[in-house]
Amino acid sequence: MKVGFEKSEFREHIRLTLLAVLVGFAGGLASVVFKLMIRFFQNQFWKADSIISAVSSQPWYLTILIPALGGLIISPIIYFGAREAKGHGVPEIMESLIFRGGRIRHQVVAIKALVSSICIGSGGSVGREGPIVQISSSLASSIGQLFRIKERGMRTLVAAGAAAGIGGTFNAPIAGALFAVEVLLGEFGIFSFSPIIIASVISTLTSRLFTGDFSAFTVPKYTLISVWEIGPYVLLGIVSGLVAIFFIKTLYFFEDKIDSLRLHALLKPLLGGLLIGVIGLGLPQIFGVGYGAIDACLQNQVGFWIAFLLVFAKILSTSLTLGSGGSGGIFAPCLFIGAMTGSFIGSIFHNYFPSSISSPGAFSLVGMGAVVAAATHAPITAIIIIFELTNDYKIILPLMFSSIIASFLTAGIHRESIYTMKLKRRGILFKEGREVNILRSLFVKDFIVQDYHVFPNTERVGKIIDQAIGGEAHSFQIVDSDKNYVGCFSLNQLKKSVLQKDLLDSFIIAQDLAVPDIQLDIEDNLEQAMEIFGREDVAEIAVLKNKKFLGVIKRKDIIEVYNHEISKREAASGLVQKLKFTHLTKTIDIGKGYRIMEIEAPVAFLDKSLKELNLRAVYRINVLLIRRKYPAQTITLPSADEIIRKEDILILAGLEENIKKVSSIKK
């Protein structure tokens, strides 16, 4: 049996390897096409090959209006086409790996390519690497679904797509492979690593076939002049780490602020474009991917104060682009910010010690790697990608030193990377696996029950004992006259007082028994609840809102809902493997009264998001899939922002009686 299993695994590995060749070719071709799309839209918007030269030769108001026009064009495409195309893309791939086994909707490829190329071409201050990673990963996912690849293989194939995107874009196959395993998978086993390397190499070769063997940047030969340079490079590592933290915090600060504006989502990219245009009037280097400005930096052609200003201008403009709903990557902005940071630091030391400290260009190169390492928490990828850009070992020592210092500092101060921070804000911990994320995605407010025993804080202990002993309850809650929560006590705690009931009754009240701090806020999640259950010997926990007692959440209910969520996700995965729900019966019994049922979306649900409908809280059911007629697609475990459309078929999981309540809603 063991030999058979090994042969089966080997055959699957060969199959994945062959598909990795196809993924690599598709990823390389996609990177070439995507670059051409960016160039096309840039020429349409700016009527020039260089945005900087266009800004200097056209009326000022066009510089402000062109990015706004780009935002106005992309917003309805994202809103109605694929909302996961908004933003920098890599977190969406991570989320698909956690919750959907790497399955990504087919239309993401075209929509992401279109909106990102328009956004970058019109001057959006973002990179092309994040989009091409998402595009290549989506292509890989579509190929995997076509060949019915199992979940483990699908994860590997999607990571191979990401590697192909990076390899083809930067002409850097090693960095592409390392990015996939360091950022996305965290697994270097041969089963997953070899298809990833193959895809990255094939993608790079494909890209070279069409565009030639050229590096993304023109990098002079730099070297370490003396050992005294190590001190400035240490400082550069520290500053780069702090700059990366500032970038992460600024990005999500503006995302929150713009989200909170009372402005329709379709108009927010327009607002972001106008603000970027204003910044670009004074500092046009911030427009687009910024490779021209990075090249100038590496050639020592950027002044001291300009480099300093561009660090903050790029952080602000990228945050506005992505925060307002634009589409593009953060890898190129990190390279840009790192280059300017390095140039600024290098200029200071080179001016004072020109004979023993390298030129600012060398510091720019090291700064690029350091900021990327710090922001992405991927120092190996950052070091290798800079090495592949230079093909020179002489800069590798300061590069390694600064990158490790920057990433270590950032990880110590700010645990989440620029990618995982987006997931954490959705309640997802990428490194913890699906079990923690399932509990984090469920909230206490949806599982409150009123099956509890409560005593006023002034109740005498004798009466408490009379009511509690002999009953079935093991935990008891205590509140004051205004329903403010005081604490709880257990049956075991009470049993110690039974023999002295008459003696204690005269001077002990319920408040004296209260154990404080065993409580949850209504907005807490089930992971926080399980932490308390693991720490305290209680069967239930009080749920509060503004200190007011609302009810309790029980340990047995959490365990039951967790098992149900596991079954639900496995059931959804199984449905996707079979591709079409229409080939199955419309009702599936999954045990203990739970059903998977297919219904047509009620009219009352149309044009509303799943978040607005809140089916989990109202009906205690979950939406496993949505089968959409126009455009034809199957949406697996849809996000809370998914809008229900006319003629959608909903595949629901839950108790049969609850699903029937939904299906009986008048249409």
Residue 459 sits at φ, ψ, to 5 deg, of: -65, 135
Chain centroid, CA 477 distance in Å:
39
Tokens of 388: 């592949």
Q: Rounded distance, CA 341 to CA 236, Å?
A: 8
**What is the reported pTM?**
0.68
Separation CA 170–CA 216 (nearest Å) = 6
pLDDT of residue 500: 56
pLDDT digits 0-9 by tens, 97-152: 766 667 777 777 788 889 889 999 998 888 888 888 888 888 888 888 888 777 67
Q: What are phi and psi of 588, to 5 degrees?
A: -125, 130
Give the pair of three-digit tokens for residue 588. Answer: 């599936």
Distance CA 420, CA 426 (A): 10
Q: What angle do CA 208, 210, 212 make, to 5 degrees?
A: 45
* Closest to 114 (Cα-Cα) out of 145, 90, 146, 82: 82
Spatial distance between the Cα atoms of 390 and 388, rounded to a whole number of angstroms? 5
Instruction: Give the mean pLDDT of 577-599.
Output: 58
Strand partners, 542: 519, 552
Distance in angstroms (rounded) separating the CA atoms of residues 642 and 79: 10
Question: Across all residues in the chain, what is the average pLDDT?
Answer: 80
Shortest CA distance to 33 belongs to which of 214, 200, 207? 207
pLDDT at 83: 73
Q: Which of 167, 158, 259, 239 is nearest to 207 (CA)?
A: 167
Residues written for the chain:
667
Q: 585 pLDDT exceeds 50?
A: no
Q: Under a CB-based contact definition with an 8 Å cutoff, are residues 85 and 115 in contact?
A: yes
Q: Name the token pair of 327.
A: 């589409």
List the strands of the sheet with 475-479, edge to edge.
454-456, 475-479, 485-490
pLDDT tens digits, one per residue of 235-271: 999 999 999 999 999 998 998 888 888 888 788 889 9
What mean pLDDT comes out for the span 378-391?
81
Query: Tell me, what DSSP letter sits at residue 477?
Result: E
> Tens digit of pLDDT for each residue in 357-377?
888 888 999 999 999 999 988
Q: Which residue has the higher pLDDT, 319 or 590?
A: 319
What DSSP character marks residue 284? G
The DSSP letter of residue 605 is G
pLDDT in tens, 309-335: 999 999 999 999 998 888 888 888 999
Q: Give the pLDDT score at 621.
A: 81
Q: pLDDT tens for residues 153-172?
A: 788 888 888 888 888 887 77
For each of the domains in the chain, give its residue range(s) and CATH number, in order of start.
2-211 (1.10.3080.10), 227-434 (1.10.3080.10), 444-558 (3.10.580.10), 578-663 (3.30.70.1450)
* Residue range 426-452, pLDDT digits in tens: 656 555 444 555 676 678 888 888 888
Phi and psi torsions of 127, nearest 5°: -105, 170
Task: Output 77 or 87, whichever has higher pLDDT.
Answer: 77
Q: CA-CA distance, 260 to 90, in Å (whole number)?
A: 24
State residue 570's pLDDT score: 53
How far lies 574's CA from each of 117, 362, 556, 584, in Å?
35, 53, 27, 11
Residue 70's H or E segment, with its range, is helix 60-81
Q: What does the pLDDT read at residue 667?
A: 54
Per-residue pLDDT, 65: 92
Q: What is the CA radius of gyration of the chain?
A: 29
Mean pLDDT in residue range 15-32: 88
Q: Give how far Cα 301 sits from Cα of 80, 157, 406, 422, 630, Å.
A: 44, 42, 25, 35, 53
pLDDT of 513 reads: 72
Q: Residue 310 has what pLDDT?
A: 95
With a cut of 50, say whether residue 576 has pLDDT above it.
no
Q: What is the pLDDT of residue 325?
A: 85
- Average pLDDT on 62-76 reads 90
Q: Which amino acid is at 302?
A: V
Whether omega before 631 lies within 30 degrees of 0, making that bond cis, reads: yes
Sequential DSSP letters for 518-569:
-EEETT-BHHHHHHHHHHS--SEEEEEETTEEEEEEEHHHHHHHHHHHHHHH
* 452-487 tens-digit pLDDT: 888 887 787 777 777 666 666 777 888 888 888 888
Each residue's pLDDT tens digit, 625-664: 787 776 666 676 676 777 888 888 888 877 778 888 887 7
